[in-house]
Amino acid sequence: MKTIKLLTIILTIKLTYAEETTEEIPYTESSGNDNQNTEEIILTKSGPVKGYVQKETPNIRRFYDIPYGSFSDNNPFEEPSPAQKWERVHDETEHRSRCPQIEHLNRLAGNFHCLTLSIMTPITTTEELRGVLFHIHDGSFNIGSGNPKVYGPEYIVPKGIILVLPNYRLGALGFLCSQNDSVPGNAALKDLTMALKWIKDNIEAFGGDPSNIVVSGEGGGGALAGYLALSPVSRDYVSKVIVESGFVLSHWALERDPDATLKILIQNLPNVGVVTTKNFRVESSNIGILVTAAKDIKFAPCIENGNRSFITETPFNMLNNLKTNMTYMIGTTNHAGLQEALDHTKESLSKLNENFSVILPDDLNFEENDIKRSEIGNRLRKQYFGKNNVTLNNIEELSLCYTDASYLGPMIRAARHLASSGASVYFYEFAFVGYLNQRNIDESIDDIKISTSVKIRGASRGDIVKYIFCQEGHIPVDGSKEKQMIDLVTDLWISFIQSGKPKTEGIEWRPFEKTTETNENWLLIDTQVKPLKGLHVDRLTLWNEIYETYFVEHNRGVRTSPYIYSFTFTIIIFIFISKLIV
């Protein structure tokens, strides 16, 4: 049996597309349809684009699937190029463009002509330039698009901002990393940077302020928004940042072993030959083979080695060395880890009871000390479950454990770094439950039913987005608690976009400041909105201790907490000066 080494592969590709998207993006004029009226043509630097007003929302103009970039059919991993200019009016009456991905039932969707963005503008008589919200969709880096039916403008755009929804390459096409120029990595982030540049150059024609582009995202989109704000390649295009349940310090937001990921992809590809991966490139192939082979692989941004790299150091080091005056609004939902908890079966819960340390994130380094790892796992189990086993009856505690490990803990550590770097930071937790919440979208209940004997009342990952963007026409009636929450959240978001200070009537939201854990400011967004101090210190203190001791970055001699680092440095300087005096 021949041995195929990790550093060897040949991939032959023949380009085909999903059946429903075989045509090029059209640039021909259209007469519209019965659901559209009030057309307007905007002349961009790339070419003319036509916008429409739907009869149901006469105060919003929509421009769909505007090309901002492209990438080669011969090498879909390369950096994007600017979209070719066009002369005929770009005329799309709905969102159709998606990058290649696997949908339900293993169905291939999307095509290569996917580097597009949609723009939603308020219809107004004022000539004042509007703030721009550049929102990056979630999808765990593998699925999704800038779909206005999922991120509808109905709640937020009429309040006076412009919404931009970009597409970017997904899965292997967007995040595969190798050690050669053909597959340098981070293609998705380079796509988004090009989209930001296009917006910077053209948004004024739509009534937008090119000096006030706020990048936002939830989950994986939040991590990408963070990278765009931190990387020197893109940060000059960003004025402010809003993220929900995801940021660069989340353990899932960095690919720490790209060679291992590439090896898995190679093993999934049928009929591969042998060539060094240093020359790995896609010359011609059936894209379905590649995308299908990669569908179950977890991709993430990576550290690059090339001359035109987007990420050159770990996000921890990026934050640790950061000096900035940028303004951030970051936070999470109170049960952001609920889905991870619900993914368990009775069998997997039994295995978790046998070895709770498997829950520990992969950015912790125990140097193969299984005893120490097991000890930390037992301490965490005791914190959340006491002497009880993990069962369906205490799944709420498991959800909180995942929330703290993957979302809240990394977000609060990032907030401390940002505050130490000079950034203004506003931290929130969203705990509201209404029928728009993800797990309640089809049934008007106040609680998430886990089993016949237990309920969890809480907001899962991404739920706050449902109160910022209209979801598939789910518009609450006036006076409902959901409509009141929409008004509250969009007021906070609009004021932050416009002024950098989130505010709503009767609430003073103080910025997150460098102080002790028990005095850190944050805002609880629930039926009652409360400014509070000390974010879940009872749960996060142990996680802070774990990361101070076992975080993988300590191999580079850097501490996780800038407060501790500064305090230690001050003591060293004091001792040094004292000795000089003596």
Q: Is the pLDDT of residue 450 over 60?
A: no
Q: Tell me, what's the pLDDT at 455?
A: 67
Pairing of β 162-166 and β 130-136: parallel
The answer on pLDDT for 174 being more than 80 is: yes
Residue 271 and residue 380: Cα distance in Å, rounded?
45
CA 544 from chain centre, in angstroms, equals 23
User: What's residue 270's pLDDT?
Assistant: 74
Beta strands in 125-171, from DSSP E residues, in sequence order = 130-136, 162-166
Strands 8-10, 273-276: pairing is antiparallel
* Alpha-helical regions (H) of 408-450: 409-421
User: Quick one: pLDDT at residue 456?
Assistant: 77
Let me know the angle formed at the C-alpha of 167 by 164 and 169, rounded to the nearest 5 degrees. Answer: 155
pLDDT at 489 over 50: yes
pLDDT tens figures, 338-394: 999 988 888 999 999 999 999 999 999 998 788 999 999 999 999 999 999 999 888
566-576 tens-digit pLDDT: 433 333 333 33
Pairing of strands 424-430, 521-525: parallel
- SS3 (DSSP) at 121: strand
* pLDDT band at 13; cut points 50, 70, 90: very low
Note whether 260 and 231 are within 8 A (CB).
Answer: no
pLDDT above 70 coverage of the chain, percent: 83
Spatial CB neighbours of 272, under 8 Å, sequence gap ≥ 6: 4, 9, 10, 11, 266
State the average pLDDT for the chain: 85
pTM above 0.95, yes or no: no
216: part of which helix (H) or strand (E)? Answer: strand 208-218
Tens digits of residue pLDDT in 154-163: 999 999 999 9
Consecutive H or E run containing 229 = helix 220-230
DSSP code per residue over 240-260 = EEEEES--TTSGGGSBS-HHH
In sequence order, the β-bridge partners of residue 333 are 430
Based on C-alpha coordinates, what's the Rg of the chain? 24
**Rounded Cα distance, 514 and 421, in Å:** 10
Tokens describing residue 9: 């592969």
Largest CA distance in the chain: 87
pLDDT in tens, 277-288: 555 555 445 677
The pLDDT > 90 percentage for the chain reads 65
Write the pLDDT tens digit of every residue in 36-72. 557 899 999 999 999 999 888 899 999 999 999 999 8
